[in-house]
Chains A and B, each alone.
Chain A
Amino acid sequence: MEFIDYYSVLGVDPTADDKTIKTAYRKLGRKYHPDVSKLPDTAEKFKRVAEAYEVLHSAEKRAEYDALCAARSSGFDRQTGHAKGGFYDESNAASNQDFADFFNAIFGEAGSRHRQQHRQHPGYDHSNQRKGADIELDWPIMLEDTLADTIKQIEFVISINDQQGYPQQVKKSLKVKIPAGIRDGERIRLKGQGTPAAGNMPAGDVYLTIRLLPHPLFDVETDNLVLTLPLAPWEAALGSKITLPTLSGKIQLAIPANSQAGQRLRLKGKGLVGKKSTGDLIVILKIVMPPTLNDSSTALWQQLAESVSFDPRREWSS
């Protein structure tokens, strides 16, 4: 088991006062707390920071820890791996198991029982009579899955204690109905499908947060779908009939003559199925030049340039 330098974890000096420790903790909390941070994989990092703070902000635990450090530096424990101080170096970080083992080795079960209860105020229900842990999962689904009630399978791993009380990872598979009109960020609760609880208490719940996968063609604006439609210049100028993809099949769209780039055409009821009504398909026109011009097309463009009086930068001269 590796020695954990809690001062390095918080990036403070061993002589730091309570205020400095609290400030360091809040700063790292802002950086690593999974509810606040936008960085990936911060949960474990925050757990370590919280553990270091739990030890260092309690006068009793800090004294116990400091005594251990002093014994260590006087030669009582000459194991390698003691951090040299300064800011916590992730590259040399001990594993999460090391953290947990180290904490339990010093403060035992009693310490563990009160982990992360920094406040005097009892925010959490810490009684033993509590339901099993909830499981929160992101669930990526396709836009097509939201058009009608759809049944899909989801798999995840839960931790169940075996008869000896050791946690075992068990794969669980559920078939879940996705209600039509569900949107990105919405949640489905599967009551009682989370981690089982001890005794007669109910199992935890599973919360599935819907994540709509990006579509190769369509963007989503509430209930509307947005499609960018590439047009040749002459299709925009002369008008044309285009076959458009939608989520439920192909449709014909008449492009009016003299259409402009960026123009939006609205097709009622061809968007996403909403909870109250169906959205629209919004088509944004994009005019695309041919990649190469041959002699005859260059001549035609030349003829156009000479016969049409059009200054696209007229507003610049006013």
Chain B
Amino acid sequence: MTTFLDIHSTNAQLNFAELCTTANINNDTLLEFVRHDIAIPIAGAQPQQWLFHVTCVAKVKKAARLYRDLDIEWADLNLVLNLLDEIDQLKNENDELKQQLARLG
């Protein structure tokens, strides 16, 4: 089956309930994620009004998996996620520099 899609989804926004459904987490978990800066609303003062950028879905899902699987405490979760991101970033930079170095060699 072939479906044609034309979605500029990178700018999409999700409300509280949509983010819970998309990431398959319950309300309390998302509240904890917001409390620990893992998910940061881009608008809204109250949870009912919160809006999240769609790009945070990946981070929220990853946080939920790490919390579930590795018994990481709420307070440590954001640190772990940031360190994992930093490792990825450094690895990418390292790969790019190695490639450039190989071209100059």
User: Interface residues, chain A, CB within 8 Å of chain B?
Assistant: 22, 26, 29-30, 33, 35-36, 38, 46, 50, 116-119, 122-125, 130-131, 134, 153, 172-177, 179, 182, 184-191, 193, 202, 205, 207, 214, 219-221, 226, 228, 262, 284, 286
Contacts and interface: CB of A to CB of B under 8 A. Distances in A.
Of listed A35, A153, A214, A221, residue having the most chain B CB within 10 A: A35
Contact of B28 (A122, A153, A185, A226): A122
Contact of A286 (B9, B21, B91, B104): B104
Contact of B84 (A35, A179, A188, A190): A35
Contacts of B26: 122-125
B100 A124 contact: no
A185 B89 CA distance: 10
Interface string B37-54: 000000000000000001
Contact of B21 (A38, A116, A131): A131
Interface centre among B2, B5, B28, B71 (most CB of A within 10 A): B5
16 contacts: A35-B65, A35-B66, A35-B84, A36-B66, A122-B29, A123-B29, A177-B7, A184-B92, A185-B92, A187-B55, A189-B9, A190-B5, A193-B5, A202-B21, A228-B103, A286-B103
B67 interface: yes
A310 B28 CA distance: 72
A188 B25 contact: no
A189 B7 contact: yes
Contact of B54 (A117, A176, A179, A189): A189
B9 A219 contact: no
A116 B64 CA distance: 12
B7 A188 contact: yes
Contacts of B100: 219, 226, 228, 284
Given A124-B25, A124-B64, A177 B5 contact: yes
A113 to B, nearest CB: 15
Given A174-B2, A187-B58, A46 B69 contact: yes
Interface in B65-88: 65-71, 84
A219 B96 contact: yes
A26 B72 CA distance: 10
A48 to B, nearest CB: 13
Nearest to A171: B1
A35 B7 CA distance: 27
Residue among A30, A153, A179 with the most chain B CB within 10 A?
Answer: A179
Contact of B104 (A153, A188, A189, A228): A228
A57 to B, nearest CB: 10
A87 to B, nearest CB: 20
Contacts of A117: 68
Nearest to B7: A190
Contact of B3 (A35, A124, A193): A193
A50 B96 CA distance: 35
Contact of B10 (A187, A220, A226, A228): A187
A47 to B, nearest CB: 10
A26 B20 CA distance: 27
Nearest to B55: A187
A8 B100 CA distance: 45
What are the 9 A-B residue pairs with the smallest beta carbon separation, nearest first?
A: A228-B103, A189-B9, A125-B26, A29-B70, A175-B4, A173-B2, A177-B6, A123-B29, A123-B68
A93 B70 CA distance: 23
Contact of A207 (B8, B21, B58): B58
Residue of B1, B68, B69 ringed by the most chain A CB atoms within 10 A: B69
